[in-house]
A and B are shown apart, each in its own frame.
Chain A
Amino acid sequence: NAGVTQTPKFRVLKTGQSMTLLCAQDMNHEYMYWYRQDPGMGLRLIHYSVGEGTTAKGEVPDGYNVSRLKKQNFLLGLESAAPSQTSVYFCASTTPAGTNQPQHFGDGTRLSIL
């Protein structure tokens, strides 16, 4: 039972490069989320999705794009990476059975932008 899987686990980019982070979940969850975690800032929501083909902006969406073409996958893209995007990125998912359901998290992608 894999749960939420994020790839890659680590990546170093140069300023201006682009990349895509992949999140895959095998729990048939409708809702998926992308967060970034920075020291002292807790978790900040970047984008989220309430179902296949839908996406919405979170608290800090600038510089990121997302796509949810398949229910089990949620992609986070950086079109032109900036040093301020150096962070640890977490994907999460949950079921819409009720807001009393917890989120399930991946182990993160550690991204450094030089």
Chain B
Amino acid sequence: AQSVTQLGSHVSVSEGALVLLRCNYSSSVPPYLFWYVQYPNQGLQLLLKYTTGATLVKGINGFEAEFKKSETSFHLTKPSAHMSDAAEYFCAVTRSGGSYIPTFGRGTSLIVHP
């Protein structure tokens, strides 16, 4: 079984500030981890993913995430928030040899203040 916990349903930052969105997972085998972004009135789109190899993964729009096995975490960061980053962010997990049904977190809404 696998699960995903996103801490904080809402995160508020000022423009230019660090963005940190938290994701913790549980999985009995090595996971594949994804971050998706959902802009208003749109579907989810892939931001970045971790499968194997380098644990620091870079995605689109300046976002990156680090897979930390010891902490079972895959937190999403961006050094400097932009107004256009305001969106809903979802963390998801699958696993090698598992089903093709990912487990999603409940999402974190990022609010960016001018």
Q: Which residues of A contact B (CB under 8 A)?
A: 4, 31, 33, 40-43, 45, 48, 50, 58, 90, 92, 94, 96, 98-100, 102-103, 105-108
Contacts and interface: CB of A to CB of B under 8 A. Distances in A.
B45 interface: yes
B44 A103 contact: yes
B100 A94 contact: yes
B98 A105 contact: no
A42 B96 contact: no
Interface of B: 9, 32, 34, 36, 41-46, 49, 51-52, 90, 94-102, 104-107
A43 B104 contact: yes
21 contacts: A40-B106, A42-B90, A43-B90, A43-B104, A43-B107, A45-B101, A48-B101, A92-B44, A99-B94, A99-B97, A99-B100, A100-B49, A100-B51, A100-B96, A102-B34, A102-B46, A103-B102, A105-B36, A105-B43, A106-B43, A107-B42
Contacts of A43: 44, 90, 104, 107
Contacts of A108: 41-43
Contacts of B44: 43, 90, 92, 103, 105
A45 to B, nearest CB: 6
A42 B41 CA distance: 15
